[in-house]
């Protein structure tokens, strides 16, 4: 038997539960003690008919590992009639071979095929985050594993808020005096919409994860209320003109496309392009060039800001109107005190009320230059150096 260290066998990791251990014990529910008993049963059941057995553990203390043998090894050693032979195997110091830097380069055929594809903001952000990850997903077309999660994921929680906002604001398209309409919306109306979306997204998890579903529901209602209250207080918006609208345009030799969460008509005749974000986002940058430089060089990636500026460029190219880029970070909008201009992006220290013609030209130039780099047969697709970025990457095992 392998890995018989005390921190591994039995497992010291507690089960996820919202019920404190004292209440579990008080009501006779399974607790840590019962879990230890189950591990003990498994161990001795495996030994029932053994004539000889080797129990291996690592005695090196490293990080959270204590290097101590499992309690079951000590029980056999001191409390059983069996003959126990202790052996220490020392492998000495093994010199590890330095890993070679993985580098991929496009063939001429791959470059031509990639140049003729339609680029989405998510693709561009993937490249800026990690070039090799982009190569695996969009050049080699390696699909991510579709693993069913028993728990409610952060993506599902975000989709609940996003889809509910879509449902609510679709009913308000082309209706003037948006703030007044939103002030008349009750909490009960919001809850009805949330319940419909939760039932659609979570489905069979509603019973198995009832407590967690209730928490997600309350958090979603709070986030939605924050967005609706923020819009209800707005003095610049007139109406919603589009929700989940797809836009595309040609930039140089490349086709760009994106689906925009929401577009509002402002009182002054300009439009506001809105992108919802449920997580923590950074809405400022020192320069536009920094946004379109891979994170290895700029030391900073700002996917949300890059995305909203590409959306704004798409609307400008299609409608030729003044555009106000806005990022609705639902977490910020649901706070008790919302900062002024919280939805606006900040470029070179200034809030952007309207994107200027010069800024559009710079965004377009930087974007075309980046796409030229992506589709070049001379560009190297290498993994990012920041291992933290690899934590949730589906291709991490192909790099390290």
Residues in the chain: 400
**How many Cβ atoms are within 10 Å of 362's Cβ, its own excluded?**
16
Return phi, psi of residue 194, to 5°.
Answer: -60, -45
Q: What are the tokens at 377?
A: 């047969």
The pLDDT value given to residue 298: 47
The pLDDT value given to residue 96: 54
One domain, residues 58 and 153: no
Residue 305 lies in a domain: yes
Mean pLDDT of the 132-154 span: 84
Q: What are the tokens at 374?
A: 């992506």
One domain, residues 160 and 248: yes
What confidence tens digit (pLDDT) does each residue in 167-197 have?
A: 999 999 999 999 999 999 999 999 999 999 9
C-alpha dist (Å) from residue 335 to 217, 232, 234, 278, 338? 17, 15, 17, 13, 6
C-alpha dist (Å) from residue 143 to 1, 103, 394? 36, 20, 9
Q: How far is CA 119 from the centre of its chain?
A: 20
Name the nearest CA neighbour of 261 among 276, 248, 241: 276
One domain, residues 31 and 147: no
One domain, residues 149 and 209: yes
**What's the rounded Cα separation, in Å, for the pair 319 and 3?**
64
Give the range among 47-56, 267-276, 295-304 with minimum mean pLDDT.
Answer: 295-304
The pLDDT value given to residue 62: 63
One domain, residues 166 and 45: no
Asked whether the beta carbons of 160 and 194 are under 8 A apart, the reply is yes
The residue out of 33, 66, 95 marking a domain boundary is: 95
* Mean of per-residue pLDDT scores for the chain: 87
67 φψ region: left (φ > 0), alpha (ψ -120 to 50), beta (else): left
One domain, residues 76 and 118: no
The pLDDT value given to residue 345: 92
The pLDDT value given to residue 206: 79
**What's the rounded Cα separation, in Å, for the pair 315 and 352?**
16
One domain, residues 148 and 270: yes
The CATH number given to whatever domain includes residue 288 is 3.90.320
Mean pLDDT of the 38-47 span: 86
One domain, residues 203 and 305: yes
Q: Quick one: pLDDT band at residue 207, thresholds 50, 70, 90?
A: confident
The residue out of 67, 95, 123 marking a domain boundary is: 95
What confidence tens digit (pLDDT) does each residue in 340-388 have?
A: 888 999 998 899 999 999 999 999 999 999 999 999 999 999 988 777 7
What confidence tens digit (pLDDT) does each residue in 82-138 have?
A: 888 888 887 665 555 556 778 899 999 999 999 999 999 999 999 998 999 999 999
Residue 290 lies in a domain: yes
- Cα separation of the two ends of the chain: 28
Token pair 């900062």 in the structure block, residue: 339
How many folded domains does the chain comprise? 2
Asked whether the beta carbons of 274 and 263 are under 8 A apart, the reply is yes
Range of the domain at 86: 1-95
One domain, residues 191 and 46: no
One domain, residues 68 and 157: no
Strand partners, 255: 118, 250
**What's the rounded Cα separation, in Å, for the pair 79 and 73?**
10
The residue out of 62, 95, 128 marking a domain boundary is: 95
Residue 184 lies in a domain: yes
Coil, strand or helix: which one is 400?
coil
**How many Cβ atoms are within 10 Å of 269's Cβ, its own excluded?**
9
C-alpha dist (Å) from residue 155 to 151, 202, 213, 216, 396? 11, 11, 14, 12, 20
- Helix ranges, the chain (H): 21-26, 32-46, 71-79, 108-115, 121-129, 131-134, 154-170, 178-183, 187-202, 205-208, 210-232, 288-291, 295-298, 303-319, 330-333, 357-374
One domain, residues 83 and 129: no
Q: Is the pLDDT of residue 58 over 60?
A: yes
Asked whether the beta carbons of 262 and 242 are under 8 A apart, the reply is yes
DSSP string, 211-261: HHHHHHHHHHHHHHHHHHHHHHT-SSEEEEEEEEEEEEEEETTEEEEEEEE
Residue 109 lies in a domain: no
One domain, residues 165 and 77: no
Name the nearest CA neighbour of 135 among 105, 108, 112: 105
**Long-range contacts of 360-368, Cβ-Cβ distance < 8 Å, separation of 24 or more:** 360/313, 360/316, 362/288, 362/289, 363/288, 363/309, 363/310, 363/313, 364/251, 364/313, 366/288, 366/289, 366/291, 366/292, 367/124, 367/251, 367/256, 367/292, 367/310, 367/313, 368/251, 368/252, 368/254
The pLDDT value given to residue 50: 84
Coil, strand or helix: which one is 269?
coil
């Amino acid at each position: 038997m392998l890995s018989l260290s005390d921190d591994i066998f039995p497992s010291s990791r507690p089960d996820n539960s919202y019920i404190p251990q004292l209440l579990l014990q008080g009501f006779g529910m399974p607790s840590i003690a019962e879990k230890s008993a189950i591990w003990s049963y498994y161990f001795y059941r495996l030994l029932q008919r053994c004539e000889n057995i080797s129990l291996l553990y690592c005695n090196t203390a490293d990080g959270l590992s204590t290097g101590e043998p499992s309690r079951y090894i000590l029980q056999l050693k001191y409390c059983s009639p069996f003959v126990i032979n202790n052996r220490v195997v020392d492998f000495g110091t093994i010199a590890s071979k330095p890993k070679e830097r993985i580098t991929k380069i496009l063939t001429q055929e791959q470059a031509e095929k990639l140049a003729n594809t339609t680029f989405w903001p998510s693709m561009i952000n993937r490249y800026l985050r990690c070039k090799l990850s982009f190569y695996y997903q969009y050049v080699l077309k390696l699909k991510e594993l579709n693993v069913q999660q028993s728990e409610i994921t952060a993506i599902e929680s975000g989709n609940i808020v996003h889809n509910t906002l879509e449902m609510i604001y679709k009913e308000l398209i082309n209706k003037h005096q948006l703030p007044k309409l939103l002030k008349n919306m009750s909490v009960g109306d919001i809850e009805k919409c949330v319940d419909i979306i939760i039932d659609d997204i979570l489905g069979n998890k509603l019973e198995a994860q009832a407590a967690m579903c209730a928490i997600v529901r309350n958090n979603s209602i709070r986030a939605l209320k924050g967005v609706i209250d923020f819009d209800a207080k707005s003095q610049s918006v007139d109406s919603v003109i589009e929700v989940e609208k797809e836009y595309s345009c040609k930039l140089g030799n490349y086709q760009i496309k994106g689906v925009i969460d929401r577009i509002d008509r402002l009182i002054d005749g300009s439009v506001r392009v809105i992108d919802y974000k449920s997580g923590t986002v950074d809405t400022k940058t020192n320069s536009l060039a920094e946004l379109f430089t891979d994170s290895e060089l700029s030391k900073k990636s700002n996917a949300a800001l890059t995305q909203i500026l590409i959306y704004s460029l798409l609307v400008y190219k299609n409608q030729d109107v003044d555009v106000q880029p806005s990022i609705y970070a639902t977490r910020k909008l649901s706070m008790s005190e919302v900062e002024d201009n919280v939805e606006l992006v900040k470029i070179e220290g200034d809030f952007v009320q309207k994107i200027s013609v010069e800024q559009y030209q710079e965004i377009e130039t930087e974007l075309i230059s980046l796409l030229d780099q992506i589709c070049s047969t001379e560009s190297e697709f290498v993994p990012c150096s920041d291992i933290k970025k690899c934590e949730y990457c589906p291709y991490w095992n192909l790099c390290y």
